[in-house]
Amino acid sequence: MSVARIETLERADSTLLQLSGDWTLATMPRPISALEHRLRTLALDDPAWDLRSIARMDSAGGVLLWRAWGRQWPSSLLISPSHRLLIERVEAMPVHRSRDSGKDRLLAFVVVGRMVLGAAAHLAGMVALIGQLVLDLLHIFRHPGDMPWR
């Protein structure tokens, strides 16, 4: 297993990014967010991409490249048919949008409310338990013969 590598080749009129190695979750350098940021930065200049030297790619590598490309195919791309098929599957996946921050604020109130209701239920159970204990003790004091000594 070889680590994922990016080589930048400057040409007279353009830039070629040659990716090589294994683009799998296990072999990507950590943190992956730094690699994604580097790829996005390199993609801003609309370079030519050469992915033919990639030995292995899994869905994590495909998602990383797809996101770095801004969820669209680059204008110049050299890629093996199997890797193209993998990225086409990534392209077909639905995009999950982040939740609205207003819902997050409402969620905080819901969580606090559930905690308060749970605490109130525990308190009610504790009061009922202590009340029943007091009633049982009063009954035993008034009727000592009902005490189960054996």
Q: In the structure encoding, which two tokens stand for residue 47, read together?
A: 């370079």
> 72 near 100, Cβ under 8 Å?
no
Spell out the per-residue pLDDT of the chain, length 150, in tens.
788 889 999 888 888 999 999 999 998 888 888 989 999 999 998 899 999 999 999 999 999 999 999 999 999 999 999 999 999 999 998 887 666 656 677 888 888 999 999 999 999 999 999 999 999 999 999 999 888 877
Give the domain 5-92 fold.
Transcription Regulator spoIIAA (3.30.750)
Rg of the chain over all Cα atoms, to the nearest angstrom: 32
Say which residues have a Cβ less than 8 Å from residue 62's Cβ, sequence separation at least 6: 23, 83, 86, 87, 89, 90
Q: In the structure encoding, which two tokens stand for residue 78, read together?
A: 């050299």
Give the pLDDT confidence score for residue 105 in this predicted structure.
75
Q: Where are the domains of the chain?
A: 5-92, 101-146
Q: SS3 breakdown of the chain: % helix, strand, coil, rounded to 5?
A: 55, 20, 30
